[in-house]
Structure 1
Amino acid sequence: MRVSDEPECPCTTGQGASRTEREYFFRVCPRLIRVFSYIIFDIMSDAIDGFPLDAPARTPLLPAAAPRESTSRVIAEALRAAIVDGTLAPGAPLRQDAIARHFSVSAIPVREALRQLESEGWAKAAVHKGATVAPLSAEEAREIYEIRSALESLAIGLAIPRHTAATLRESASLCRAAERESNPSLYVERNVAFHMSLYAPARRPQLEDMIGTLHRRGERYLRLKFGLPSYKGESDNEHAALLDAVKRHDIPAAQKLVVAHLLGTGELLYRFLTERAQAEAALANQPKPRGRRPRATTGT
């Protein structure tokens, strides 16, 4: 027998319910009243918290899909790396269908990646011909380093007063890493990391972004410069002198050194690329040797 004086609830009997019992079910059953109260309270609590706009995010049932832009950035970075290491030579075609097949993607992120490379100077597009890897330009190389010299002189002047013992230790570590590096591709990374560590304390994100863009546009030229005689040793010495000026908090000396370092690099690349273009043009203009015509034979 039931201890409670409450009438037995039809929801627990397992029997069919008459109309009267169903009315009783919804009006009287204390168990359901408590359950509905909890549900309503929970909903109202979310509403008070600003549900669904301001409430804490629920754990998603499925991972969020990566935005298409991230795919285009991955493709652009891979193509950029292939151009830097010489896998894609100047003038090489950048065919959308081949790139899409390689990355197993549609043509849309590939087009976005190629547009990004064009805006950065890595690729050139021609009507009815598609995109190709941009040629190396002596004028572009010199201009990149001229602009860098102005921006990085400003950045280092703003950064020096904010440098601490910790940031200087980081810069010194990155300087040593670049000095020890013999792989051209890895040296490019070490070089960029060292330079940016000198400017980071300035806390000028717009300035850092512009400098970073110029570093990316100059990667091909820096790799080319890496192969020139005596460049590596000279660059390492200039980096060490620059770091020493930053440690001394000598702003004029640091600015003078960074300008000389970058303008010297630009002029070196300009001369090298100009001389190489002249040599290639001279070679192309040389008359081709004529082959000996085969002697005519008569039948017997």
Structure 2
Amino acid sequence: MSAAQGTTKRDQIVDALRRDILAGELARGVPLRQDELARRFGTSITPVREALSVLSAEGLVVAEHNRGVRVAGVDPAEVAATYVVRRLTESYAVRRAAPRISPRDLARARAVLDRPAADPAAARERNREFHFLLYDRCGLPALTGRIAAMWQAFPWDLTLHDDDRAAASRAEHEAILDAIAAGDPDGAAAATEHHVARGFASLARALGTDAGAVTDPFDDLD
């Protein structure tokens, strides 16, 4: 594994493991042996331990006494709470960003949507690139950073193989761009809320919960 300029070995390991987890290549609950990871990345135990500490802080791995480190499971209640915050903050970011997004930005966003994805990991990266192209224009870097932190820990891996969701997501992305192109920030925000809500519904199905076990927290606000 070649070192990317400006990144440490720890950072490279963090990026690779995060990508593997969120692409579903490392299953939820699978153990992560530090010696095996050190061999994989051609390094000592120290940067592996540091990388696992970073991923633990993000909620992607958990360390248990006498059991070592494993990929974190998914807590439905925690996912629901994160969803509430994502729906609020991401729609707000798009509302603020809409007047700042140029025709060139829109063309770039549409090009991202049109770019083929060879595997689930590429599809996830394409989805992230699309969204943050918009969020980065909101004018509040700290807000974009908070959204990015939530994305890092969100269990995208559980919905990557939902073909129906992938098709619907494409249409929802286009609805967001159409509203921005029409000069309708409120419409773009509403389309973003809808998109995040549909993604949450897909995730709830993937969790295999009984009806009502993981509900849309916004239902209580109607």
TM superposition score category, shorter chain reference: 0.7 to 0.9
**How many residues are matched?**
208
Per the alignment, residue 95 of structure 2 pairs with 157
Per the alignment, residue 237 of structure 1 pairs with 171
TM-score normalised by the chain length of structure 2:
0.84
Is the Cα contact below 8 Å between 1:91 and 1:132 reproduced in 2?
yes
Match of 2:150, as an amino acid?
L
1:18-57 aligned at under 5 Å gives the runs none
- 2:193 is the alignment partner of 1:259: yes
Q: Find the aligned partners of 2:66 and 2:191 in 1 and give their Cα distance.
A: 47
Which is higher, the Rg of structure 1 or of structure 2? Answer: 1
Structure 1 pair 67/105, CA: closer, same or farther in 2 (3 Å)? farther
TM-score normalised by the chain length of structure 1:
0.63
Q: Find the aligned partners of 1:156 and 1:66 in 2 and give their Cα distance.
A: 32
- 2:203 is the alignment partner of 1:269: yes
Bigger relative contact order (CA 8 A; separation at least 6): 2
- 2:8 is the alignment partner of 1:70: yes
Is the Cα contact below 8 Å between 1:200 and 1:208 reproduced in 2?
yes
- 2:94 is the alignment partner of 1:191: no
* Partner residue of 1:144 out of 78, 82, 87: 82
Q: Find the aligned partners of 1:98 and 1:213 in 2 and give their Cα distance.
A: 27
Q: Secondary structure at the match of 1:198?
A: helix
- 2:160 is the alignment partner of 1:222: no
Structure 1 pair 223/128, CA: closer, same or farther in 2 (3 Å)? closer
Shift, 1:66, TM fit: 9.3
Structure 1 pair 90/157, CA: closer, same or farther in 2 (3 Å)? same
Structure 1 pair 67/127, CA: closer, same or farther in 2 (3 Å)? farther
Match of 1:195, as an amino acid?
H
Is the Cα contact below 8 Å between 1:82 and 1:88 reproduced in 2?
yes
* Partner residue of 1:134 out of 58, 64, 72: 72
Q: Can you give the 5+ residue segments of structure 2 that lack an aligned partner in the other structure?
A: 211-222
Which deviates further from its counterpart, 86-95 or 205-214?
86-95
Structure 1 pair 209/148, CA: closer, same or farther in 2 (3 Å)? same
Shift, 1:77, TM fit: 1.3
Match of 1:191, as an amino acid?
N
Shift, 1:67, TM fit: 10
- 2:38 is the alignment partner of 1:104: no
Shift, 1:162, TM fit: 1.3
Q: Find the aligned partners of 2:124 and 2:61 in 1 and give their Cα distance.
A: 20
Q: Secondary structure at the match of 1:226?
A: coil
Shift, 1:173, TM fit: 1.4
Q: Find the aligned partners of 1:201 and 1:91 in 2 and give their Cα distance.
A: 37
* Partner residue of 1:120 out of 40, 55, 58: 58
Is the Cα contact below 8 Å between 1:156 and 1:251 reproduced in 2?
yes
Per the alignment, residue 170 of structure 1 pairs with 108
Q: Find the aligned partners of 2:111 and 2:204 in 1 and give their Cα distance.
A: 31
Q: Secondary structure at the match of 1:274?
A: coil
Q: Find the aligned partners of 1:66 and 1:168 in 2 and give their Cα distance.
A: 30
Per the alignment, residue 216 of structure 2 pairs with none
Match of 2:80, as an amino acid?
R
Shift, 1:208, TM fit: 1.4
Q: Find the aligned partners of 2:141 and 2:196 in 1 and give their Cα distance.
A: 21
Match of 2:172, as an amino acid?
E
Which deviates further from its counterpart, 221-230 or 234-243?
221-230
Identity of aligned residues (%): 33
Structure 1 pair 189/87, CA: closer, same or farther in 2 (3 Å)? closer
* Partner residue of 1:95 out of 33, 55, 61: 33
Q: Find the aligned partners of 1:95 and 1:182 in 2 and give their Cα distance.
A: 29
